[in-house]
Amino acid sequence: MEVEFAGTKHKVRKLEADAFTGVDVAFFSAGATRSRAFVPVARKAGAVVVDNSSAYRMDPQVPLVVPEVNGDLLGAKPGLIANPNCSAAILAVALAPLHRIAGLESVVVATYQSASGAGAKAMAELDQQVRDFAAGKELRAEVFPHVLAFNLFSHNSPVGKSGYNEEEQKIAEETRKIFSLPKLRMVPTCVRVPVPRAHSEAVVATFAKPIPLADAKRVLGKAPGIRVVDETEKNLFPMPSLASGELEVLVGRIREVEGDPHAIAFFISGDQLLKGAAWNAVQIVEELVKRGGLPASI
């Protein structure tokens, strides 16, 4: 089988133990089961692995990396690097510059997660529901537990005894690991919304030091991986339609929290298929090359 990409045809073969012979870098994005089965095989063959599944994210021996935040971990030239949960990666990019100047202490975040976070079938289901609505037909849900078109609902992952669902637990645990803050207070609420692509998040972050609004806007405006969209006069702020297809995380609605000089509120949008997944993985490899962990010919 062959697939064409950027004008070049590439041969696709079945994933087997010998598939990694001569491979320098292996990107894994086929789910935790496949990663657990084949990442050790790839490592044994000498490949550096960037894994986009949840299989190794919380392994204390495996760095969980967002290059703008903790790319220094790649200086140790690890052979296996975990790519974070999409919402956690987007959130971390926005929190990092503020954390550096004031010291992060707690985060309350509500996510607005698009259909594409659940895959191509979920996007197709949303599209069909919109078409059926326009045609006056009954709306049906098969991929999601509820109809997503013209609706929203709590993220479709199991809720644990703590009252938090799996997606919320991932965001909390992974954010703590990315920032090396195991006691960071996190209150995430994850919601599916009828948007095809790009996740958004409403954030209230509290810091150890007071953080003046002018300082927050200044550091966010200069931070790598961020584009500030905060045009109050035009009522123009981050939106999924602006973030879709973009490599940067859009940050706006930057404002003070009344009565708390240690807190800042803001709103972000980011393409979870790019910064939340594929682009972050590519950045990891680029950072490894820069730090001598991979040959420059990669």
Question: What is the C-alpha separation between 77 and 42, in angstroms, rounded?
Answer: 16
Helix orientation angle between 213-222 and 86-102, rounded to the nearest 10 degrees: 120
- Catalytic-residue membership of 199: yes
Buried (b) or exposed (e) across 26-50, using 16+ Cβ within 10 A?
bbbeeeeeebeebbebbeeeebbbb
In terms of Cβ atoms closer than 10 Å to its own Cβ (0-12, 13-18, 19+), residue 96 is buried
Specify the pairing of strand 153-154 against strand 8-11. unpaired
Query: Which of 86, 99, 155, 190 is flagged as catalytic?
Result: 86
Chain Cα centroid distance, residue 182: 19
Query: Which of 99, 155, 190, 199 is flagged as catalytic?
Result: 199
Q: How many CA atoms lie within 13 A of 89 on its CB side?
A: 33
| Catalytic site positions | 86, 199
